[in-house]
A = this chain, B = another copy of it.
Amino acid sequence: MANEPKQKRFGAHIRALREAQEISLRKFAERAQISPTYLSKVERDEFPPPGEEAVRRIADILGEDPDELLALAGKVASDLPGIIQQHPRAMATFLRAASGLPAAEIEKLARRAVGLRKKGPEK
């Protein structure tokens, strides 16, 4: 028991969606601009998920939310680290506090943040 992948669900997930849309592995690989060989392994979770750009192209083809699919790939969208780094302590505090909250509550806080944006700093 040594050769197991970290992300067990990414490959199976995109394979199911691809098959539901009746796209062949080769056609899909072509549209996603990756090699069929690679895609085959990724879909069977024999290889870890591709890089961010490839995951975004896959999400686009499958009609999935990119942030959601990136999460399944064990990644976060590359713009988020930059945002966190603007106020690392405050953002880290927030994220740790919000960890475990249901999505609906986080969305409410997001709407609050949008509200603060409009009023406060106009930049």
Contact = CB atoms under 8 A, between A and B. Distances in A.
B121 A97 contact: no
Contact of A120 (B89, B101, B120): B101
A22 interface: no
A17 interface: no
A84 B88 contact: no
A116 B110 contact: no
A4 interface: no
A123 B101 CA distance: 9
Interface stretch (A23-31, A32-40, A67-75): A67-75
Interface of A: 65, 67-68, 70-71, 74-77, 79-81, 83-107, 109-114, 116-117, 120-121, 123
